[in-house]
Structure 1
Amino acid sequence: MPNRSADPLFLLVRSLSKSEKRNFKLYSTRNSSNEELKVVQLFDAMDKLSEYDEAAILKKAPGISKLQLSNTKALLYKQILASLRLLDNGADIDIQLHEQLDYARILYKKGLYHQSLKLLDKIKETARSHNQVTIMVQVISLEKKIESLHITRSMQDRADQLTSEADAVNGRLVLMTQLSNLALQLYSWYIKNGHARNERDEIVLQDYFKKHLPKDAAKAAGFYEKLYLFQSYCWYAFIRHDFLMYYRYTQKWVDLFHDQPFMIDIDTANYIKGMHNLLSAHFDLGNYPRFREVLQQFEAFAENKSISASENNRIQAFVYLNIGRINKHFMCGTFREGVQLIPQIEEKLSDYGLYMDRHRVLVFYYKFASLYFGCGQYEQSIDYLNKIINWKTDLRSDLQCYARLLHLIAHYELGNYELLEYLMKSVYRFMLKMENISGVEEEIMRFLRKSLQLSRFQVKEEFQKLLEKLRGLERNKYETRAFLYLDIISWLESKVRNVAVMDVIRERFLKETRSVGEVKG
């Protein structure tokens, strides 16, 4: 589990780069008052710690008493943010516009109404050209205030123009809010539950989607209205296993940025997420040529200054690029090469431990376990599966369930038959509790129970029977989930043919790519 300090100030100090620390020192020592010197002492003390320890901080900063610590921490937090704002104000359009808006308010308070209105007009034009709708709302609000309280004679029909602008911007803002709410709620459902488990889940999702999709959503014309609309359809399709629709809307999501390339720098995080979902769509559809092409584009983009300029963007790019790289090895059957990625990814997971959300860490652990399982290294696979199983089950119940099932199969491969009977009961109870058991899981559990009583020859026959049964379930919409998390078909083929799982997948991959003239791997 990643290291997580509960102290917000410590997290902020740990997140600073060398240049940001240097800039803070210059900013905080500009007047060198007694209070500011204490702030610097506290900063230096925290900067030297690997974990938050109040006693160690007080020892390293003897000029600060225990009673003064709370207020000094609050002042340090505020000063760090102020120094970062000054450092970053030229790179972020949102910060630039807010700064200009602050200047317009200052001019207004000084009674310089015409100067304020002139600046507001420039801000509004910049905000409009950069799709910053929320800033436009604030600008128009201040313009209306100035015009309603003072005789500026700025232009004729000013009231009509401002009223029309306010109505148009507010209409856009309402639509953006409705669509962003819908996208967020659908994504939240997926993070908690995974894919739709049954017809009941799908009916609930359909009803929710239809109820909350704005009536005029199809008329969405602005950048963010379209982005949230595409995201909503993206999650709706993905949860329901409609991977073709999922692909179409992830492609629309990415194309939206390509149509307005300047938005990639303005909202890099959403572009990264769109590229990740486009990769996932090609992975789920088994479209390797397009998957490889998008992965190469993503890898090239990861070298962009938009990534290096933001810690958040660096972390997101690291997460989604490496998920893509691992998925490539799953598609190609190159599991041994995939396993070689694990140490360097784990090192980064440790480096980013203060900032990584648990959901992403769980996904990586499951992928690590699957890589090791594909290589036949079952003990290493079990180590990562145990990390998932021992984690608090408050999200991704589907991942928790399939981790337990893969854990069960890994123990079967190791011949830990005495443990299997207990594990099977435990896994079955857990999956029932999570409402996560389907025909595929039922068949696997039934086979494992039966196989313990059979000879090696009889077991091979049962493997063949199970393979035929599960192939019959592959096209069942509500059974798709199991095949996404467990390549159970390849495992069964490997048992029937007495070869490694990765060899089965590799053979299939080479056959498919050669049939379409693709270069292997």
Structure 2
Amino acid sequence: MAELHKDFLFVLIKSLTTSEKRQFRLYVNRLGINVDAKFLLLFSEIEKMKEYDESIIVQKKISTKQQLSNLKAHLYKQILVSLRMNPSHQNYRIQLREQLDFANILYQKGLYKQALKILDKTKQTALELDEKTIASEIIDLEKVIESQFITRSIEGRAEELIRQSTEISKQNHYATELSNLSLKLYSEMLTHGYVKTDEERAEIMKIFNAQIQKITFEKLNFTEKLWYFKAHVWKNQLLQEYKYTLKYAFLWVDLFHNNPEMIMSHPVWYIKGNTYLLKVLFLYGNIDILEDRFRKFNEAVYSSSFAQNENLQSLIFLTHYNTLMNIHFVKGEFFSGTKIIPEIELKMDRLRDKIDEHHFMILYLKMAAMFFGSRKFKESIRYALKVIESKGNVQEDLLFHTRILILMAKYESGNDEDYDEFIKATLKFAKKMKKPDEFHFESVNFFKNLNNLTPHNQLESFKEFDKKLQVFAGNEYYRRSLLYIDIHGWVKSKVRNVDVIEIIKEKVRYKRAH
């Protein structure tokens, strides 16, 4: 039996809404296809399955094992054709492409004037929406038609098309350079993580400067500015320069607020920009600005004018609930934060096929941290174990800090039944990390020694570790390690003999005062 995410056809059929299934059947009927057609029987059978099982399809003689691959490919294509016709999936890009297709058909029939009329109108819309790739394709077809359909205005038309083509070519060149740079930096972040040495920093700056120095910002249009700001956000994320990450995240989001019509054109990048902005505002801990920007984000994405589809719903879900939990963390509102967890898990189940495992694990870690803050240590450990037992591709740092949270919860709860074994497993994990550093080993050693000390000596151990964490916090390359779990706040609370919530509230008051 295949895993759900491995069979694309099964996942696609299960993603269909009731109205989309009804439209598919209507679409098939309009084609005049026999109701017993094999691909329709295959659709009905897969629709009934809770898990994909190929053997059932073969047993019911819907298809032989040899023919099944082709039949599934045909059904997949027909479902996509049906979805393309669904008004809920129509957007301006599909509509522009549709008009370009119509113009191509008219051209092939020799109806040049009609084709040119559609192309001119579509081109203007594409340029207004800053869709230069489609505009470039339109101009290419206009050139082909004009070279065959001679009119008295050809001289003026030729100059106009040459000018438009040259201008769009330049803009596309800027967009390509900046999008390549952004993608390269994003790839660096995913594959190697945040810079940890001066050498790694120099390499990132070399990559960045080689491309960005070719760009004149004043010549950029909306799309190029968007890629420009993205590149700066990702570069500063890699360098852990959060002051500049915040600056360019603001510029990214406000680019949309200054061009509100583009929110409809690029809803994904509007959400992503807000994701980075809200994330960095959380790291800075400025609750007033964070809550204000969170309110504006919700007003935009939950308005009736905002585009709606499954992909956008997934992105909105992640940004909304990650930020909502972050706000509870900043305020130290752990008890009220745990109350939203059932609501989050319910939505996670609905979106399981549309969100990658790593993002789910971040949510589980935050839930575990929320339970820890509300002193429900058993629940904290249960949710943290979901992360470290995950079969998905989860970042090493996330897994390590989840282990640290479990050790904190075990210490607080007095549940030291398998404490020593877990310490050994965590040390083994740290040694196998691609780039373990001093922070990782100091943390494991701290917990390793802690359980064997008398209460007085434990306090001294907390004080010593507090000093080491202060040193780590002052090192720009270790700073990131202290952001996943507030181990420093927890250690300080032990040194001062106060609840960790008091430490968090002091931070909030400090941020508001400054």
TM-score (normalizing by structure 2): 0.92
5+ long unaligned stretches in structure 1: 517-521
**1:258 equivalenced with 2:257 (yes/no):** yes
CA distance in 2: counterparts of 1:71 and 1:473, whole angstroms: 58
Corresponding residue number in structure 2 for 1:7: 7
Q: Which amino acid aligns with 1:222?
A: N
| Maintained 8 Å contact 1:253/1:274 | yes
**1:78 equivalenced with 2:58 (yes/no):** no
Q: Which amino acid aligns with 1:155?
A: I
SS in 2 for 1:478: coil
CA distance in 2: counterparts of 1:90 and 1:446, whole angstroms: 55
| Maintained 8 Å contact 1:193/1:398 | no
Corresponding residue number in structure 1 for 2:492: 493
SS in 2 for 1:34: coil
Corresponding residue number in structure 2 for 1:32: 32
CA distance in 2: counterparts of 1:220 and 1:491, whole angstroms: 50
CA distance in 2: counterparts of 1:457 and 1:167, whole angstroms: 76
| Maintained 8 Å contact 1:179/1:214 | no
Corresponding residue number in structure 1 for 2:121: 122
Q: Would the alpha carbon gap of residues 220 and 284 (structure 1) be closer, same or farther in structure 2, given more than 3 Å must change?
A: farther
Corresponding residue number in structure 2 for 1:298: 297
Q: Which amino acid aligns with 1:14?
A: K
CA distance in 2: counterparts of 1:254 and 1:229, whole angstroms: 13
Corresponding residue number in structure 2 for 1:386: 385
What displacement does 1:194 show?
3.4
What displacement does 1:74 show?
2.4
Corresponding residue number in structure 2 for 1:280: 279
Corresponding residue number in structure 2 for 1:450: 449
What displacement does 1:335 show?
1.0
Q: Which amino acid aligns with 1:123?
A: T
What displacement does 1:306 show?
5.4
Alignment of 1:66-105 (within 5 A): 68-88=67-87, 91-105=90-104
SS in 2 for 1:474: helix
Q: Would the alpha carbon gap of residues 177 and 308 (structure 1) be closer, same or farther in structure 2, given more than 3 Å must change?
A: closer
Corresponding residue number in structure 2 for 1:477: 476
What displacement does 1:459 show?
0.9
| Maintained 8 Å contact 1:10/1:46 | yes
SS in 2 for 1:52: coil
CA distance in 2: counterparts of 1:126 and 1:403, whole angstroms: 50
| Maintained 8 Å contact 2:194/2:238 | yes
CA distance in 2: counterparts of 1:482 and 1:94, whole angstroms: 42
What displacement does 1:355 show?
1.4
| Maintained 8 Å contact 1:373/1:381 | yes
| Maintained 8 Å contact 1:196/1:478 | yes
Q: Structure 1, residues 120-151: CA drift from partner, whole Å, max 9, x if none?
A: 11111010001111101111111112223443
Q: Would the alpha carbon gap of residues 494 and 417 (structure 1) be closer, same or farther in structure 2, given more than 3 Å must change?
A: same
SS in 2 for 1:376: coil
Q: Which amino acid aligns with 1:40?
A: L
Corresponding residue number in structure 1 for 2:329: 330
Q: Would the alpha carbon gap of residues 90 and 272 (structure 1) be closer, same or farther in structure 2, given more than 3 Å must change?
A: closer
CA distance in 1: counterparts of 2:55 and 2:434, whole angstroms: 47
Q: Would the alpha carbon gap of residues 399 and 201 (structure 1) be closer, same or farther in structure 2, given more than 3 Å must change?
A: farther
Alignment of 1:180-329 (within 5 A): 180-213=179-212, 215-305=214-304, 309-329=308-328
**1:51 equivalenced with 2:55 (yes/no):** no
What displacement does 1:105 show?
0.4
SS in 2 for 1:156: helix
Corresponding residue number in structure 2 for 1:357: 356
| Maintained 8 Å contact 2:377/2:409 | yes
Aligned residues: 512
CA distance in 1: counterparts of 2:211 and 2:361, whole angstroms: 30
Q: Which amino acid aligns with 2:133?
A: T
CA distance in 1: counterparts of 2:21 and 2:391, whole angstroms: 36
Q: Which amino acid aligns with 1:185?
A: K
Q: Which amino acid aligns with 1:232?
A: A
What displacement does 1:265 show?
1.2
Corresponding residue number in structure 2 for 1:519: none
Q: Structure 1, residues 92-130: CA drift from partner, whole Å, max 9, x if none?
A: 010000000001001110111122112111111010001
Of the structure 1 ranges 277-286 and 83-92, higher mean CA displacement relative to structure 2 is found in 83-92
Corresponding residue number in structure 1 for 2:400: 401
Corresponding residue number in structure 2 for 1:427: 426
Q: Would the alpha carbon gap of residues 230 and 64 (structure 1) be closer, same or farther in structure 2, given more than 3 Å must change?
A: same
CA distance in 1: counterparts of 2:218 and 2:36, whole angstroms: 54
Q: RMSD of aligned C-alpha atoms?
A: 2.5
What displacement does 1:48 show?
1.8
SS in 1 for 2:155: coil
| Maintained 8 Å contact 1:370/1:381 | yes
What displacement does 1:164 show?
2.3
**1:506 equivalenced with 2:505 (yes/no):** yes
Q: Structure 1, residues 163-212: CA drift from partner, whole Å, max 9, x if none?
A: 22222212211221221122122222223343223333322222222223
SS in 2 for 1:168: helix
Q: Would the alpha carbon gap of residues 284 and 514 (structure 1) be closer, same or farther in structure 2, given more than 3 Å must change?
A: closer
Q: Which amino acid aligns with 1:20?
A: E
Of the structure 1 ranges 164-173 and 241-250, higher mean CA displacement relative to structure 2 is found in 164-173
Q: Structure 1, residues 216-258: CA drift from partner, whole Å, max 9, x if none?
A: 2534521111111100100111121111101111111111111
CA distance in 1: counterparts of 2:11 and 2:171, whole angstroms: 36
| Maintained 8 Å contact 2:426/2:444 | no
Of the structure 1 ranges 61-70 and 385-394, higher mean CA displacement relative to structure 2 is found in 61-70
What displacement does 1:392 show?
5.0
What displacement does 1:429 show?
4.0
Q: Would the alpha carbon gap of residues 54 and 460 (structure 1) be closer, same or farther in structure 2, given more than 3 Å must change?
A: same
CA distance in 2: counterparts of 1:265 and 1:366, whole angstroms: 33
SS in 1 for 2:390: coil
CA distance in 2: counterparts of 1:262 and 1:74, whole angstroms: 38
Q: Which amino acid aligns with 2:44?
A: D
Q: Which amino acid aligns with 2:12?
A: L
Of the structure 1 ranges 99-108 and 234-243, higher mean CA displacement relative to structure 2 is found in 234-243
Q: Which amino acid aligns with 1:50?
A: K
Q: Which amino acid aligns with 1:114?
A: K
Corresponding residue number in structure 2 for 1:20: 20
CA distance in 1: counterparts of 2:44 and 2:307, whole angstroms: 25
What displacement does 1:322 show?
0.4
CA distance in 1: counterparts of 2:407 and 2:451, whole angstroms: 13
| Maintained 8 Å contact 1:5/1:354 | yes
5+ long unaligned stretches in structure 2: none
Of the structure 1 ranges 459-468 and 63-72, higher mean CA displacement relative to structure 2 is found in 63-72
Q: Would the alpha carbon gap of residues 217 and 105 (structure 1) be closer, same or farther in structure 2, given more than 3 Å must change?
A: same
Alignment of 1:124-163 (within 5 A): 124-163=123-162
Corresponding residue number in structure 2 for 1:347: 346
What displacement does 1:504 show?
3.1
Q: Which amino acid aligns with 2:6?
A: A
What displacement does 1:394 show?
4.6
CA distance in 2: counterparts of 1:513 and 1:284, whole angstroms: 11
| Maintained 8 Å contact 2:358/2:393 | no
Q: Which amino acid aligns with 1:224?
A: T
What displacement does 1:34 show?
2.7
